[in-house]
Structure 1
Amino acid sequence: MTPTPKKHVFFDLDGTLVDTRAAVVGCYTRVFREKLNSDFPPAHFPVADLFAMRPAEVFAVVAPDRIDELHAAYRDAYPLCTGLVKVFDGIRDLIFALVRDGRQPSVVTNKGLERTLIDLGVAGIAPETFAVIVTAEDTVDRKPHPAPILLGLKRAGAHAAEAIYVGDGPQDILAARAASMEMVAVSYGFYDRTMLQPHRPDTLVDSVEALSAALGIIQTAGTQS
C-alpha cells in the first residue's frame, strides 16, 4: 500500500488503540463468579467471539433472563479492572502526529461510551483529540454492519473516499467494505493474520510502526506505551 494522505482516519478501539483483553476477561470473570457462581468462559463459549460481542449479547447467551442485571454488574466491575488496560506502544504518538499534520483521527467502536472514555483516559488520550467518537449507544446495528462507520462519516462531514478505517477484527474489515471505505487491518490486536487475511483487507500490518507508515506517519524512536 502506498502511504495514504487521507484526512480522516477512523479507528476501532479495543485491539487497535488499547489492549483490553485482560480487563474484559477480568470483568466477565468477576461477574460470572459473583452473579452466576460459575467460571468464565463457559465451556461452550468461544473466547474468540467475546471481543466482537457487546456484554448484553454475551449475557443473552449465558443467562437470557438476567441480561439487565448482569450487564449492570459488568458496568460496575469495569472501572475496577482499568489497571489491566494497556495502550499499544506508539499509539499515542501516532494519534498526536495525525493531529499535528492537520488530519482528523476519530473512533468508531462497538463499545459503550462510558467504558470508551475510561479506556481513553488510561491511554492518556483526551476524548477531544478525536474529531468524532461513535459508540454502542449511537446505532442499533454494530459492526460488521456499516451503520457505525457511516454515522462517523456523517458526523465528521466526510465522504468515504477521503477516509480510511483501522481495525483489528474481521467485523472491522466487513464494516469498512460495506461503507465503501479503504481499510487497514492490524494483527497485533485480538485477531492474528490467519483470521484477517481471508477477509481481504486493503492492507494488513503487524505493528503500530507499520500502521504509522501505512498512514504516512513516520514514527520516531522511543515511543511511549
Structure 2
Amino acid sequence: MNPLSRTHVLFDLDGTLVDSRKAVAACYAQVFKERLGMDFPPPGIETGDIYAMRPVELFARFAPERVDELHQAYQDGYPAAAAQWLTVFDGADRLIHGLVKAGRRPSLVTNKGLARTLIDLARAGIDTQWFDAIVAAEDTAERKPHPAPILLGLQRAGADATDAIYVGDGPQDVLAARACGMPVIGLTYGFYPAQALAKLEPDALAHSMDELAQLLGVSIKGTA
C-alpha cells in the first residue's frame, strides 16, 4: 500500500497552508513600538528566531515583568495584521476539503497558538470541522521536532501512526514525524530551503500545492 494514501493526514499550518510571516512581524512591530518604544526586530534577535519562538518567550527576553500585557496586545493586534498581511497558499482550502470528500481524515498539528491558528484558518477558508483534531501550542509543553504534538494529534483523531502521514515544510516536521514512526511529505514552497528538507530524506517532496495534492491523490481544481 502506498504510504501516502493512508487515511489520516496530519498537517502543519504555517509554511504549509498559510504564510503568516509578514503578519507576525507587523504585529510584533506594533507591540514593540507602542508598548516598549523599541524598533523591531530588536538587537540580538535573528529573523529565524522571530518565527521559531513563542510570543511569550520573545517578550520575556525584553520585558519579563510585562509578558502578560505584551502578549495580550499581540493577540489583540493579530487579527488586523492577518487581515492585511496573511498569505494563503492557493488551493489549501480545496485540498483539505477534497481529502474529507475522499473519505480521508485530515488533522492539524501546529506550534502556533490556538487563537491565531483559528484566525489563519478562517482567512484561508478552511472549516475547522474538516479536521478530526487540532493541536496548537498550548496543548503540549514540547514543540516539534519533539514528537509530542503529533502523538497528541493522533490520539485526538483516534488514529494510529501505522495509518497516518504528516505534511510540513520544516526539518522539525520531518524529524517529529519520523520520531512517531510516520511517513512524511516535505514541502519546499514553505519557509525552509529545499536542501534542508531533502537531506533528511522525507518520503516525498512537493514543490507546490498542486504537487502536494497529486501526491495525496486529491484534485484541487474548482471550489471547496
Q: Does the residue aligned with 2:65 lie in a helix, a strand or coil? A: coil
Give the match for residue 64 of structure 1.
64
1:93 paired residue number? 94
Which deviates more from structure 2 when the two are superposed, residues 155-164 or residues 46-55?
46-55
Contact 2:10 2:165 in 1 (8 A): yes
Q: Percent identity?
A: 57
Aligned residue pair count: 222
Q: CA deviation at 1:223?
A: 6.8
Q: Does 1:217 align with 2:212?
A: no
Query: Structure 1 residue 43 and structure 2 residue 17: aligned?
Result: no
Tell me if 1:5 matches 2:5: yes
Structure 2 unmatched ranges of 5 or more: none
Superposed CA deviations along residues 5-63 of structure 1, whole A, max 9, x for unmatched, are: 11100011111111111111111111111122111112321112322221112223333
Q: Report the CA distance between 1:73 and its aligned residue.
A: 1.4
**TM-score (structure 1 length as normaliser):** 0.92
Q: SS of the counterpart of 1:200?
A: coil
2:55 equivalent in structure 1: 55
| Equivalent position of 1:149 in the other structure | 150
State yes or no: 1:29 paired with 2:32: no
Is contact 1:109-1:135 (8 Å) kept?
Answer: yes
Alignment partner, residue 135 of structure 1: 136
| Structure 1 residues 134 and 58: alpha-carbon distance in aligned structure 2, compared to 1, 3 A threshold | same
SS at match of 1:105: strand
Instruction: Judge conservation of contact 2:4–2:183 (CA < 8 Å) in 1.
Output: no
Deviating above 4 A after TM superposition, structure 1's stretches of 4 or more consecutive aligned residues are: none
State whether residues 52 and 171 of structure 1, in contact with CA within 8 Å, keep that contact through their aligned partners in structure 2: no
Contact 2:3 2:165 in 1 (8 A): no
Q: Quickly say closer, same or farther: Cα 1:198–1:68, change in 2 above 3 A.
A: farther
Unaligned runs of 5+ in 1: none
Q: 1:73 to 1:193 in 2, by over 3 A?
A: same
Alignment partner, residue 173 of structure 1: 174
Superposition map of 1:120-131 within 5 A: 120-131=121-132
